[in-house]
Structure formats: structure tokens, C-alpha cells
Structure 1
Amino acid sequence: MIGFFVVVSIIVHAITLLSLVVLSLRVSKTKELELRQEQVARQVEETMSAYLLDLKEENERLLNMLSGNGYNDNASGDTSSSNKGVDLQVNDSNKEVVEAYSPPIPQPAEDVDTYIPSQDSQVLALASEGYSVEEIARTLNKGKVEVELILKFQQRK
């Protein structure tokens, strides 16, 4: 009878020990998963902050470029901007009007359906052709960080 209880006790102890090992493995896997998620969250945060900095730099360049060209966005009713691409300048010496022509911006025909691939698909197509991130950004007039983001998000899908 004592032998029976000893065997049952050994079996119960073995099951308990096995349960502890399994639980410890699960806890370690959970901790590892949490660490990976924190790392991914940090990478996404760093990528987004880099993207925002790049966007801020591009906006500052645009503002500098617009202010350098004498463009000012005032609501005072200035009629000189309503000349549709023609700037009139008066030459004081001869009192003649000189027109500086800037070509009109072409408007797409309304009745023609044209396929325009999305920016994401253009980035992915250029990347699959072997272009570098800098070349893609230069070709599509985008920031390097924006191109990197598109490629990273596509890799995760």
C-alpha cells in the first residue's frame, strides 16, 4: 500500500514539475514577444519622427523658395496675379509695356479616362527595378524618409 502511494506521489510530482517547465517557457516567450513589440514600436516612432522632420525641412524649403520668388499670399485683392500667366511690366525709358510670358498649366481633358498609378505603386515598381531609395525619392520628388516608409510598410504586408 505504501508503494502505491509512493508511485502516485512520484507521478504527481512529475506532472507538477512538467507543468512548471511549460509555464516557465510560456512566460519567457511572452517576455520575448513584448520585447519585440517594444522594439517595433520604437522603430515606428523613430521612422515617423524622421518622416516628420523631413516633411518639416521640405516645407521650410518650399517657404524659402516661395518667399525668394516674391510670392506673397495676401488677401488684399491684388489684381496682378489674375493675369493668367502674363506679368505686365512698364519700361520707364520708352513707356512701353513688356509682357513676361509664363506658359499656362495644362489641364487634363475631362472626357478622357487616364490611368495614373498611385505613389505607393510607383515607389514599389522602381524599387523592384533595383533603384535606390535616393533615386526613387529624386525621381518622384518625394523625401527619402517617405520612400523608406512606403517600402517598410509594404515589407510588413
Structure 2
Amino acid sequence: MALVALLLLHVGITIAINCSRAKAPFELGEWNGHLEHLDAATIENNPVTAAEGQFYVYENTFPRHTIKYLQVDNLAQKTCGAVATLKRGGLNTSSLLLILHAESSQEIRSVVDVWGVPKMVPRKRNVKPLEREGDLKNMQSKYLFMKARALNHNSWSDSPSDTETESNI
């Protein structure tokens, strides 16, 4: 039993020495207790002998949320594992494109955790109609282009209507 533990310790130290990069997690943002857990993905691919190694693409969209914290843990035990690179999206967006790349004869064993907050959607305010007094009670208005802007055309005025052209005047 002690021999197995010593062998595992030796293998772990050998891998740590031979890895050209640290196996620290890839983190973006700052985690807070009020963040909502949006996604967790576990990626496990055995080592390959291809010269370019192997790639894993993690892509996800969270339409009603904003990403505030991202963590990718490299859990490879037998090899150096994969390197995580953010290609598009990330913090303060609602989408994410992450590439995990492992060199030849390296394994991918990673956990991707995405945390965020719901997007703030502006609420519509209820607008109370204006109360009119005296002569203004009988005034009627037309509103054109309500989404873009409001134009107020009074029906009691002597000006020509919007549908008339200058040739009709």
C-alpha cells in the first residue's frame, strides 16, 4: 500500500515537473454569493497521438443572463491536461466561446463553470392621461410614429392635415 502511494506521489511530481504550464484554473471575473449558476460542463477526452493534439469547443448562450464569473478547472491527473482559451464573449456578455487544447499525448479533463446574473429588463411605466380643463376638454390629438416619437396634431387648428400636400393647398 505504501509502495502504491509512493508511486502515485512520484508520478504526480514527475508530471508537475514536466508540464511547461501551471495547472491552475482559468478564471475570469469575481465570484459572489448572489451569482446564479448558469452551466457546469465536464469534458473528458483521452490522450491522442495526433501531432496537433486535440481541441474541444465549448460554446453556449444565456439569452436572459449576463456572465459575471467563469472558471475552467484542469483536472488531468496522468498528463499536463488542456489549456483553456476564451475566443469570444465572456464577462458582461450573454455568450461564451471557449477552446480547450491539449497537446499530443495529453488528456482533456476539465470542468467549465459559468455564473451570472439575470439581465435587467426595463419595465414599462403606466402613464396616466392628462386631465383637461375648460376649453381643452374637447381637444383631440393624433399620435403618429408612437414607437419612435410622438407628433401632436390638434384637430381644432386651422392648419392643413398631414395627408394634404402642398399642391392641394
TM-score using structure 2 length: 0.21
Q: Which has the higher strand share?
A: 2
Q: Which has the higher contact order (CA 8 A, sep 6+)?
A: 2
Q: Which has the higher helix share?
A: 1
Q: Which has the larger radius of gyration?
A: 1
